[in-house]
Amino acid sequence: MQVPVNASWLLEYVDAVNSELGELYPRPGKTALEKAVADALTVGGKRVRATLALLWCEEYSGDYKPAVPLAAAYELAHASALVQDDIIDHSEMRRGAKSIGAKYGLTTAILASDLLLFNVPREVAKYEKLESRRLARIFDLVGEACRATTWGEFLDMEMAGGMEGTEKDYEDMIRLKTSTLLSAPCSSGALVGGASDEQVALAGRFGEELGMAYQIQDDALDLVGEESALGKPVFTDLRGGKKSVILLHCLNHVSVEERKFILGLLNRSGPYSEQEVVKLRDLIQDSGSLEYTKGRVLSYTEKARNILGSAPVTEARSRLLELTEYLASRYY
């Protein structure tokens, strides 16, 4: 995992989650299915959702360790969603390695996604001694996050399948597909940490705004990032017909001929030439779309910062702020 400058503390959190996951699916697995699940959990993930759960637990309890099973549960859910996402998008690569579907085949990938997801409630059930109201709320948050992610994936497909879409359509979609799966770990971690209802809601709002910034940034990187940093070819989302803030803004701020050129790149089955890549990136730059997108990322990041400012002043809060800054500025 790439670690922010001066954030060596993050390794301790990531190691704790990896240890929990490793007990579920030790490497190397004996069967192709076990190997596929282990690979899905270990290929280059940032453990963002897990770390958020741990930090919000620490924010209100002074200790992140009680939230480790919870953090693992959200990583299982996220890994399951990524396997399915790659299947839907026919993606060959994930974080610089072969996707699970490309490496193990479609059938094994589907079963691996199921195994990952079905272990989520088993991890949450480790909180059997937690107050029943809090435990029920955690199960509800996990279930809602999975429901929203699935619905968001469907809306993403709808937009890619021909629906022209607006910036609002896109942001509504990523609020479901991404933000909920960052908001829920924050709220759940706070619940395990003994936070009040108001504090739990605050943690959830923070995660939602951070999730918006995170996904807008991530989608922009498909068009302006470098393959070495992304771990996959550039223009992957473009090839799948996916629309984002940066692309929608560009389409609305170029000439008719330039718009026709961009639309011709969507849903492309063949490769993009170097000239096409350069031309699109020039249009993104010249139309002000890159600066506009940075502004949208910073706007959501600022909302997350402001929400965080209402939380108690602790080392965990400082680390949440540091993580926020890193996620909002990566690779630019």
Structure tokens at 71: 């953090």
- Residue-wise pLDDT for 244-266, tens only, equals 999 999 999 999 999 999 999 99
Q: Report cis status (omega within 30 of 0) of the bond before 28.
A: yes
Question: What tokens does 42 get?
Answer: 């270990």
Task: Tell which residue, 293, 188, 195, has the closest CA to residue 244.
Answer: 293
Instruction: Give pLDDT, residue 45.
Output: 74
Backbone angles phi, psi at 98, to 5 degrees: -60, 140
Question: Percent of the chain having pLDDT more than 70?
Answer: 95
Share of the chain above pLDDT 90, in %: 82
Q: What contacts 24+ positions apart, CB below 8 Å, involve 85-91?
A: 85/153, 87/113, 88/153, 88/157, 89/236, 89/240, 90/240, 91/232, 91/236
pLDDT of 229 reads 63
Identify the pLDDT of residue 3.
Answer: 47
Backbone angles phi, psi at 313, to 5 degrees: -80, 110
Mean pLDDT computed over 160-167: 82
pLDDT at 155: 94
Average pLDDT, the chain: 93
Q: How many helices (H) and strands (E) does the chain have?
A: 18, 2
> Which residue in this structure is represented by tokens 């209802």?
197
pLDDT of residue 330: 65
- pLDDT tier at 228 (50, 70, 90 boundaries)? low
Beta-bridge partners for 202: none
3-state secondary structure of 325: helix
The predicted pLDDT at position 231 comes to 64
pLDDT tens figures, 312-326:
999 999 999 999 988
Tell me the domains of the chain and their CATH numbers: 9-329 (1.10.600.10)
The total of other beta-carbon atoms located within 10 Å of residue 29's CB is: 14
Q: What is the pLDDT of residue 144?
A: 97
Least confident of 45-54, 189-198, 284-293: 45-54
Tokens standing for 118? Answer: 């079905």
**C-alpha triplet 246, 168, 53: angle, nearest 5°:** 85
